[in-house]
Amino acid sequence: MRTVGALALVCAAFLVGCGRPAVGVVDTQRVLNESVLALSYQKQLNDREKLLAAELSIAAQRLDRRALEQQRLAYLRELQQLRAELEERLNRRLREVVEEVARRERVRIVLVKSAAVVGGKDLTDQVLEKLR
């Protein structure tokens, strides 16, 4: 048990003692709330949802209950697919930007800020700047 503790201390000392931050953190919630890219994807999703709701409202006047429910389920599937596609695009771009900022800032590990209990260099501002 002592060996594991000593090894952990040596690793921690190595990571911290390199003269540069070993760990960076990114506040992903802030990125979602503030980045132009995330906000534009959310707007696309909201606009599509409003359009489909309007179409469903019009269809309600001409379709029977069963057909209307089928249409509603089709619209929900379409929205889920669009949401998944936009999330994948955003995640891919976010990973690219975080990797780029981490290389530039010379950090070895980047964590989601909510998972980082203490410490780490906050890279959120640089990530947001790159996502503009």
**CATH code, 115:** 3.30.910.20
Q: Is residue 118 a part of any domain in this protein?
A: yes
Q: Which residue has the tokens 């921690």?
A: 12
pTM for the structure as a whole: 0.71
Q: Is residue 5 part of a domain?
A: no
Q: CB count, 10 Å around CB of 41?
A: 20
DSSP at 46: H
Instruction: Specify if 62 maps to a domain.
Output: yes
Residue 100 lies in a domain: yes
43 is in which domain, residue-wise?
20-130
Domain-located, residue 6:
no
**Domain annotation covers residue 92:** yes
Domain tally for the chain?
Answer: 1
Report the distance separating Cα 120 and Cα 74, nearest Å: 45
The model's pLDDT over 23-49, given as tens digits with 9 standing for 90+, comes to 888 988 999 999 999 999 999 999 999
Q: What is the mean pLDDT of each run of 10 residues along the chain (132 residues)?
A: 36 47 85 92 96 94 94 96 96 93 90 70 83 78
Dist CA 102 CA 1 (whole Å) = 34
* Residue whose C-alpha is closest to residue 20's, from 103, 95, 111: 103
The answer to whether residue 125 is domain-embedded is: yes
User: Is 3 domain-assigned?
Assistant: no
